[in-house]
Amino acid sequence: MSIFDTFLNWKVFIGTLPLLLSGLWITVGLGLTAIVLGLVGGLGLVLLRLYGLLPLRALAIGYIDVFRSVPVLVLLIVVYYALPFVGLRLTAFWAATLALSLVSAAYSAEILRAGIEGVARGQFEAARALGFGAVRQMSDIILPQAVKLVIPPLTSNAINVMKDTALASVVAMPDLLKQATQAQALAANPTPLIGAAAIYIVMLLPLVRLVGLFETRLNRRAR
Positive or negative, the CA dihedral 58, 61, 66, 69 is negative
Provide, rounded to the nearest whole percent, the portion of the chain with pLDDT above 90. 63
pTM greater than 0.95 (yes/no)? no
Residue from 118, 158, 160, 159 nearest 142 by CA? 118
- 168 secondary structure, DSSP code: G
* pLDDT of 2 above 80: no
Tell me the per-residue pLDDT of 48-101, one tens digit each, with 9 for 90 and over: 999 899 999 999 999 999 999 999 999 999 999 999 999 999 999 999 999 999
Q: E-assigned strands of the chain?
A: none
pLDDT, the chain, mean: 89
Q: Which CATH number does the domain housing residue 161 bear?
A: 1.10.3720.10
Q: What residue numbers bound the domain in which 75 lies?
A: 3-222
The CA-atom distances, in angstroms, between 139 and each of 47, 90, 134, 146 are 11, 34, 9, 10
The CA-atom distances, in angstroms, between 48 and each of 58, 142, 164, 219 are 9, 15, 27, 30
Tell me the per-residue pLDDT of 7-58, one tens digit each, with 9 for 90 and over: 889 999 999 999 999 999 999 999 999 999 999 999 999 999 998 999 999 9
Q: How far apart are CA 191 and CA 185, in angstroms?
A: 10
Number of domain units in the chain: 1
Residues in the chain: 223
Tell me the per-residue pLDDT of 164-206, one tens digit each, with 9 for 90 and over: 999 999 988 899 999 999 999 988 899 999 999 999 999 999 8
Tell me the per-residue pLDDT of 96-126, one tens digit each, with 9 for 90 and over: 999 999 999 999 999 999 999 888 888 888 8
